Amino acid sequence: MNEVVEGFIQAVQLIASLDEEVIEITIRSLLISLSATLIGSLIAIPIGGFIHFREFGGKRGLVTIIQTLYALPTVLAGLLVFLLLSRSGPFGFLGLMFTPFGMIIGQIVLIIPLMIGMTLIALSGVSRTKQDTVISLGATETQTVITIVKEARFAILGGVILGFGRAISEVGAAMMIGGNIRGYTRVLTTAIALETSMGNLSLSIALGIILLAIAMMVTGILFLVQER
Amino acid sequence: MIDFDQVVMNFGEKEVLKNVSFSIEDSEIFTFIGPSGSGKTTILRLIDMLERPTSGNIFIDGTDVATLKDRERIPLRRRMSMVFQKPSPLRGSVFDNVAIGLWFRKVGSGEIQERVPEALELVGLKGYEERKAGTLSGGEMQRVAIARAIATKPEVLLLDEPTANLDPVSTEKIENLISALKERFGITVILSTHDMVQGQRLADRIAVVIDGRIGQVGTSKEIFYHPMNRAVATMVGVENIFEGRVAVNEAGLASIDVNGTSIIATTPFPAGTPVMLYMRPEDITFHVKDGVKSSARNEFTGRITKVLPMGPMARLKIDAGVKLTAVITQRSYDELELALGKEIGLAFKASAIHVVERRD
């Protein structure tokens, strides 16, 4: 028990003193997950728009698969990207294994289904009449998609924020693809896992508090967005 | 010019339109009248190419749009604008809402700055540019929707039940605007309504839509006084409908036998023709039995079997050998000292009866 209390006290000290390693890991976590969220959004929102606006065979099946993948285990996303990026994999020549870029790819794979799904829900929240109004005012297909996505932008943003939350809190893909290399690919979650296993509780707790704070901020922003 | 040729529209199992054909001329106000669910909205959506017909052809200025690819429809659709029954405010200001059709057409921003206030002024919402569209009342938003539709200077304006959800004041404003648009700009206005009187007020021509079919197309006078069949007659408020047979016809003035009662009507049909008779309730006049002769050919005495007050008017059901429905002002009703069960003298002119040959 003493150990835990001591860990907490030291953790607060680490954060308060802006410990170099803590700050560095936090910034790297944010950069990697924000990049993954940004790139993931640029892929997921147009795909969501395409699925919503086009009629094609197997649409329902595709949507069901996407919904199933909301719960894609992080280690499976890690495994998939590992197979693709490892030296003997099809993209091995890019040398992305054990780099932050590889981790970004892993997180993108992980959160894209969730963001596509949220985009679909957001777009179907825009009334059919609104869509018809836009078309009847002479919009091309692209103009229709852009206008309706704009109409649903707060709901879509909610999905993007959820995606970020999933990206920053996952540990499987970050560990398998990043490799938890100190000062290069070590992020909040992998650091907590490692430091805890090494018995370095104070650092773990400090990083845990920061991760929790980020999660709370994400939830807070999501709440504000959905209030609009 | 818009032509429908044998258009059929099915939504799944449901037949919404059944062999619909009509043509709409340029610069006329053409109104589809019919009860809810009769297919009016579907017709407007087909004209705006928001739907594809199950079968049949739709020609817009000679182009068959039923088979056009989506991409090819856009230039044609950009010559029209549609206002929906429920106006959809888009996010942003009134200006953004009205400008959106112009943005889609890549109109220069200078011109947009001119045309948006112009359109708003036409609908009586001058100075509303900066308001948030979401904060407007229903009537205001409907007018913004019309401004949005006319800002693009369409040749054809489609209005689906434009006043269905509005108060009488907003309705009047919108009706005045519709007339003005036709007068000032020569726009073809196509609207749907379930309000018979609105159709009569606005339309050059009316098509009565009943259960997915066009019952009759004509001027309001033709529709209201010369309905072609029972369904149209019922729809436009012709409440006296009789089946009969021409007994005698002397130079166009016929005596028609309706269940043993003889009714005089003007018609060219010869003796023996099975006919339907239609008469509006307003065409029946009343007098107390005092021996004064009216000029009307048909005079009856009947008993009042039902009285339905309707504001300043009263609707009477009368048994005069044939069952009649009539309307009378509440004032006359009181002055004539009418009451339920009372005997009353009534008359109607031979020309008030619209006679149509019956084909069973």
Encode pLDDT of B96-152 as tens digits: 999 999 999 999 999 999 999 999 998 889 999 999 998 998 889 999 999 999 999
Q: How much is the average pLDDT of B297-325?
A: 91
SS3 content of chain B, % helix, strand, coil (to 5): 30, 35, 35
CB contact under 8 Å between B84 and A133, yes or no, is yes
The predicted structure's pLDDT at residue A123: 94
The predicted structure's pLDDT at residue B360: 66
Domains and CATH numbers, chain B: 2-234 (3.40.50.300), 240-357 (2.40.50.100)
**B321 Ramachandran zone, left/alpha/beta (phi>0; psi -120 to 50):** left
How open is the CA angle B195-B196-B202, to the nearest 5 degrees?
90
Q: pTM score, two decimals?
A: 0.80
CA B256 – CA B263 distance, rounded (Å): 5
Which of B73, B90, B97 best probes binding to A when mutated, by most A CB atoms within 10 angstroms?
B90
Beta strands in chain B (DSSP E): 2-11, 14-24, 29-33, 55-60, 63-64, 80-83, 156-160, 188-193, 205-210, 213-218, 240-250, 253-258, 261-266, 274-279, 285-287, 298-310, 313-320, 322-329, 343-348, 354-357
pLDDT above 70: residue A9: yes
**Other beta carbons less than 10 A from residue B216's beta carbon:** 21
Architecture of the structural domain at A2-227: Orthogonal Bundle (1.10)
Q: How far is CA B115 from CA A7, A174, B110, B112, B149, in A?
A: 68, 55, 9, 5, 12
CA B225 – CA B220 distance, rounded (Å): 8
Query: Please, are residues A177 and A54 in contact by the beta-carbon 8 Å criterion?
Result: no
The predicted structure's pLDDT at residue A51: 92
- Write a three-state SS string for chain A: CHHHHHHHHHHHHHHHCCCHHHHHHHHHHHHHHHHHHHHHHHHHHHHHHHHHHCCCCCHHHHHHHHHHHHHCCHHHHHHHHHHHHCCCCCCHHHCCCCCHHHHHHHHHHHHHHHHHHHHHHHHHCCCHHHHHHHHHCCCCHHHHHHHHHHHCHHHHHHHHHHHHHHHHHCCHHHHHHHCCCCCCCCCHHHHHHHHHHCCCHHHHHHHHHHHHHHHHHHHHHHHHHHHC
Chain A residues close to B80, C-beta within 8 Å:
136
The predicted structure's pLDDT at residue B235: 86
The predicted structure's pLDDT at residue B130: 94
For B101, residues 6+ apart whose C-beta sits below 8 A from its C-beta are A137, A138, B81, B148, B149, B151, B152
B215 touches chain A (CB under 8 A): no
The predicted structure's pLDDT at residue B273: 93
CB contact under 8 Å between A137 and B80, yes or no, is no
The predicted structure's pLDDT at residue B292: 63
pLDDT above 80: residue B191: yes
CB contact under 8 Å between B78 and A138, yes or no, is yes
**What is the per-residue DSSP string for B245-269?**
EEEEEETTEEEEEETTEEEEEE--P
In chain B, residues 99-128 whose CB comes closer than 8 Å to chain A: 100-101, 104-105
Chain A residues close to B84, C-beta within 8 Å:
129, 132-133, 136
In chain B, residues 158-197 whose CB comes closer than 8 Å to chain A: 158
pLDDT above 90: residue B43: yes
Which of A130, A132, A133, A150 best probes binding to B when mutated, by most B CB atoms within 10 angstroms?
A133
The predicted structure's pLDDT at residue B353: 93
Q: What are phi and psi of B319, to 5 degrees?
A: -100, 110
Query: Please, are residues B125 and B173 in contact by the beta-carbon 8 Å criterion?
Result: no
pLDDT above 70: residue A32: yes
Give A128-159 pLDDT, tens digit per residue: 899 999 999 999 988 998 999 999 988 999 89
> Across the interface, which of B80, B91, B145 has its CB nearest the CB of A151?
B91
- pLDDT band, residue B219 (cuts 50/70/90): very high
CA A89 – CA B237 distance, rounded (Å): 78
Give B313-352 pLDDT, tens digit per residue: 999 999 998 999 999 999 988 888 888 888 888 999 999 9
Using DSSP bridges, classify how beta strands B2-11 and B55-60 pair: parallel, antiparallel or unpaired.
Answer: antiparallel
Average pLDDT value over all residues in chain A: 91
Chain A residues close to B86, C-beta within 8 Å:
129
Q: How much is the average pLDDT of A34-47?
A: 95
Question: Which two three-digit tokens encode residue B324?
Answer: 């009649």
CA A160 – CA B16 distance, rounded (Å): 41
Percent of chain A with pLDDT over 90: 64
B134/B43: higher pLDDT: B43
Chain A residues close to B45, C-beta within 8 Å:
132
> Across the interface, which of B48, B86, B105 has its CB nearest the CB of A136?
B48
Q: How much is the average pLDDT of A77-100?
A: 91
- pLDDT band, residue A201 (cuts 50/70/90): confident
Q: How much is the average pLDDT of B231-259?
A: 91
**What is the per-residue DSSP string for B96-108?**
HHHHHHHHHTT--
Q: How much is the average pLDDT of A194-221?
A: 89
Pinpoint the alpha helices (H) of B254-343. 330-335
- pLDDT band, residue A1 (cuts 50/70/90): low
